[in-house]
Amino acid sequence: MSEGIPPSPTTASGAAGASGAPQMPPRVVIPSPASSAAAGQGPQEASMLPFERASAPESPPAPSAPSAPPVQEPVVELGPTGRPMPFLPDPPPVSEHGAARVVSMCNQKGGVGKTTTTINLGASLAEFGRKVLLVDFDPQGSLSVGLGLNPHEMDLTIYNLLLEPDVSLEDVVVPSGVPGMDLLPSNIDLSAAEVQLVNEVAREQTLQRVLAPALSSYDVILIDCQPSLGLLTVNALTASDGVIVPLECEYFALRGVALLKTTIDKVRERLNPRLEIEGVLGTMFDGRTLHGREVMERLVQAWGDTVFHTVIRRTVKFSDSTVAGEPITTYASSSTGADSYRQLAKEVLSRWHDA
């Protein structure tokens, strides 16, 4: 997977000269506030983004052309990230489960969509026939609550699994309410684990060790990390094959991302050479505002093709579904939010398939 800078537009060398367009920077175009203020809100908004095809200046009427009708160029549809949207096939069904891929949702900032993404990506993967285990690895327990569990009525949680040798995975796993998706719940007890684990042998590998028996019965294990880069998060990264980084499409979204990347690199070097950044997910996107589009543009400049083509738009349906204690894919099954997470599931599966 490329983590480099985004490719320059394919038209940059071949066409820019011919177009003779004044003031056209060769690479990425950042619209100035003055020029963009006039840009329309609505469906034309994508035209401001960097990968716009410079088709207009390039196609002068061909006077000498014979009588053949003008050839219509196929329209390349730009996705919300400003790049051409790839075709994402429906994932093929699986006949047997196992050899789970373990993925952490990680960002030390709170409120960026980690828990929402864990629930809804998980539920979408389960809709596509994958067997999914969600791991609530945040003492806040939002993932468990978001799936309708009462934090005070939990018998056993991931805390017991981590610290009590006689507790096994099957003792702690509960159904999530979504067919094909199970949950390892957590509550505030987990906050004590961070301190207690410090004295354990191989403390960074504790989660990996307790999850090992689940690998053969699930296709995907998604770990919802807490908003910090402490020992619990290091445990999640050590247990994972990949990391998905949800980033709220707000001005300060990129702050702190360098530190997150350093942590991921350190875990890869010292503890888990398998670990890769699966993708960066833009959440709470509002494509109607210039601000939203500019943040998205900066995300793509900084992370290139690591940024998922799928973005999650801002909608109150997500908080409504949390209150209802179920994923948006069942709470508002035909909403755009539900469709976006189904699309993310397809994109994630196609990345794994290509890997």
On whether the CB atoms of residues 210 and 162 are closer than 8 A, the answer is yes
| Tally: H helices and E strands in the chain | 15, 7
106 or 234, CB closer to ligand ADP?
106
What mask of x and - would describe binding to ligand ADP in positions 308 to 347, judged by CB under 6 A? ----x-xx--xx--x-------------------------
On whether the CB atoms of residues 186 and 202 are closer than 8 A, the answer is no
> Least separation, in Å, of the C-beta of 132 and Mg ion?
17
28 or 184, CB closer to ligand ADP?
184
8 or 319, CB closer to ligand ADP?
319
> Least separation, in Å, of the C-beta of 228 and Mg ion?
11
Buried-state track 103-139, b at ≥16 Cβ within 10 A, e below 16: bbbbbbbeebbbbbbbbbbbbbbbbbebbbbbbbbbb
Candidate residues 81, 104, 115, 144; the one interacting with ligand ADP per rule CB under 6 A: 115
57 binds, among ligand ADP, Mg ion, none (CB under 5 to 8 A by kind): none
Map tokens 């900032």 to a residue: 109
**Separation between Cα atoms, residue 351 and residue 1, nearest integer Å:** 9
Query: Residue 84 phi/psi, 5° resolution?
Result: -55, 135
Identify the H or E element spanning 133: strand 132-137
**Separation between Cα atoms, residue 50 and residue 35, nearest integer Å:** 14
Candidate residues 28, 49, 112, 207; the one interacting with ligand ADP per rule CB under 6 A: 112
Q: How many residues interact with ligand ADP (rule CB under 6 A)? A: 17
Candidate residues 83, 101, 114, 131; the one interacting with ligand ADP per rule CB under 6 A: 114
Among positions 78-107, residues that touch ligand ADP (CB under 6 A) are none
Name the pairing type of β-strands 132-137 and 220-225. parallel
Candidate residues 9, 113, 151, 180; the one interacting with ligand ADP per rule CB under 6 A: 113
9 or 242, CB closer to ligand ADP?
242
Contacting residues toward ligand ADP, per CB under 6 A = 110-116, 142, 227, 283-284, 312, 314-315, 318-319, 322
